């Protein structure tokens, strides 16, 4: 019988054992697939032993069947490159804030969009924060 001993991180078979490093996610996923496809336990139980759901097990299986072991590597999610705001847009945001310190980031974003510069409110907030252009609020002193 073929199996995976997660406490010793070994694949165990009738002919011996094979150690697997715990930080090697590809080998761990492959061990799960071997155990799930060649063993007698249900795929749901095998997936649970390896910390995956049944659905994720079948996603990993599909990836492996389509792309081999290289498809088992996790990759970084999200944007592949950092979004770069044009320097002119940054200068305009700073300019608007200096001309009118009470202007909101919503209004700044709207003005830039009217000029044909598509920009989000969160991008304007980021520039305002990076350059320390937040509105200062006065706090009441507790000493009276």
pLDDT digits (tens, 9 = 90+) for 62-105: 999 999 988 998 877 777 776 778 889 999 999 999 999 889 99
Q: Are 91 and 36 members of one domain? A: no
28 and 51 part of one domain: yes
Q: In this structure, are 91 and 66 located in the same domain?
A: no
Structural contact between residues 46 and 36, judged by C-beta atoms closer than 8 angstroms: yes
- Read off the pTM: 0.52
**Structural domain contains residue 14:** yes
Together in a domain, 92 and 44: no
Comparison of pLDDT for 48 and 143, the residue scoring more: 48
Alpha-helical runs (H) found in the chain = 25-38, 43-49, 54-67, 87-99, 105-114, 121-130
Q: Are residues 92 and 63 in the same domain?
A: no
Per-residue model confidence as pLDDT tens digits over 12-53: 888 888 888 888 889 989 989 988 888 888 999 999 988 899
Q: What is the structure's pLDDT at 50? A: 86
State how far the Cα of 13 lies from the Cα of 65, in Å rounded to an integer. Answer: 23
Q: Which domain holds residue 61?
A: 3-72
* Residue-level pLDDT at 141: 64
Asked whether residue 96 is domain-assigned, the answer is yes
85 φ/ψ sector (left φ>0, alpha ψ -120 to 50, else beta)? beta
Query: Does residue 82 form part of some domain?
Result: no
- Verify that 13 and 44 share a domain, yes or no: yes
Same domain, 106 and 63: no
* pLDDT of the residue at 116: 92
Residues 63 and 9 in one domain: yes
| Within-domain flag for 144 | no
Q: How many domains does the chain fold into?
A: 2
Residue 7: predicted pLDDT:
79
Q: Is the pLDDT of residue 4 over 90?
A: no
Mark whether 24 and 67 lie in a shared domain.
yes
């Amino acid at each position: 019988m073929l199996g995976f001993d997660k406490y010793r991180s070994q694949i165990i078979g009738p002919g011996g054992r094979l150690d697997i490093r715990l930080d090697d996610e590809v080998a761990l996923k492959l061990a799960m697939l071997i155990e799930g496809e060649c063993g007698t336990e249900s795929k749901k139980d095998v997936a649970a032993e390896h910390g995956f759901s049944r659905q994720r097990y079948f996603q990993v299986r599909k990836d492996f069947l389509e792309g081999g072991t290289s498809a088992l590597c996790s990759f970084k999610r999200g944007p592949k490159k950092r979004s770069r705001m044009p320097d002119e847009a940054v200068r305009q945001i700073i300019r608007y804030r200096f001309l009118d310190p009470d202007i909101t980031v919503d209004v700044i974003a709207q003005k830039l969009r009217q000029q044909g510069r598509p920009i989000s409110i969160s991008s304007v907030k980021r520039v305002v924060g990076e350059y320390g252009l937040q509105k200062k609020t006065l706090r009441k002193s507790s000493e009276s």
